[in-house]
Amino acid sequence: MRREHQLWNIKKSHMNIIENEKIRLLVKELDLIPIIKNAFIAYSEGKTTVPPVAELSFSDPPGDVHIKYGYMEGSEFFVVKIASSFPENEKLGILNGQGMMTLFKMETGMIEAILLDDAYLTDVRTAVAGAIVAETFSNEISTIGVLGTGLQARMQAIYLKYVTSCRKIINWGRNKKKMEIYKQDMEEEGFEVELRVSPADVARVCNFIVTTTSSENPLLSIKDIKPGTHITAVGADTLTKQELNTDILKKANLVVGDSLSQCKIRGEISHGLSSGEITENDVRELGDVLKGGKSGRSSKTEITVVDLTGVAVQDLSIANAVYNHFRLKKNEI
């Protein structure tokens, strides 16, 4: 027992536990766009090991848990991320998102650090991916269309500030009260916000749309979409969620997924494939486009769709970046 106790003390002496408040301070000092962009490229180049997502879904109360894990070539650590979303938590005064990221030494498997982020880093890396996609695929954004009123509906718009000067949002949500709160919150962030009564009303006036709901029924169809529109689909991160009618994928000039293997199983692309509206040959992988191996938007009239299902490589890269910055700033925060 003494030896086991000694070994545990050694582990504790090497393990750092970093809580949400410090993580948020560290993130503010990082330029995450090139970090996440390079992660997508490394993924498409086969320089990462990312097993399939492990997932738990619950109905009473509703919620889901994703476990994502893997490592990148040359990395000091492998990462295991657990992130949950329980929409009814707000009734209890608890954050809907919960979770943590754990870093293990590649050489020994010992725990190096636990990032108790309450799923904050998952939200950040998703919003950063949205900014990367907007910069790569959209025309000059005249108006930002946002479907949804939750945290990601806010963060997607906030991170767009890094890549566009547009500060006008057209918003729709399923709950009128939450739409009003969203409008107030985003106006405090420097946006001009107008509310609409339907998703189609948003699409008719926007050339850039981001969908962030947990809907299991399509909110938009191709008849709603203007030529030249870019859609970033964020909400459909499970097997059953769907925000876009598959006719949008069929008619789109460019359909891109963050992970081809993952998008076969979950997200908008999976529904397009299962319906027969598109085939695997119709879909490109985000990292391939970012590295210049495959073409992106080629005209201002094209309709483009990017399906962001959330890839573990984003978690690996943001966890490593935050922890490495923590080691540099350890005595200052």
Query: Which residue numbers are catalytic?
Result: 81
Nearest to 212 by CA among 264, 149, 162, 271: 149
Strand partners, 230: 208, 304
**What residue has token string 């486009």?**
289
Q: How far apart, in whole angstroms, are the C-alpha atoms of residue 229 and residue 203?
A: 9
- 134 in Cβ contact with 208 (< 8 Å): yes
Tokens representing 15? 């393990």
Phi and psi at residue 300, to the nearest 5°: -75, -15
Q: Give helix 120-137 / helix 32-44 axis angle, nearest 10°.
A: 80
Q: Which long-range contacts (CB under 8 A, 24 or more apart) does 280-284 make?
A: 282/249, 282/255, 283/255, 283/256, 283/257, 284/254, 284/255, 284/256, 284/257
Cα 215 to Cα 141: distance, rounded to the nearest angstrom: 25
Torsion angles phi and psi, residue 165, rounded to 5: -90, -5
User: Phi then psi for 155, rounded to 5 degrees?
Assistant: -70, -35
Q: Which residues are paired to 101 by β-bridges? A: 81, 115
Strand partners, 56: 65
Cis ω for the linkage preceding 218 (within 30 of 0): no
Q: Is 103 helix (H, G, I), strand (E, B) or coil?
A: strand
Q: Quick check: helix, strand or coil at residue 85?
A: strand
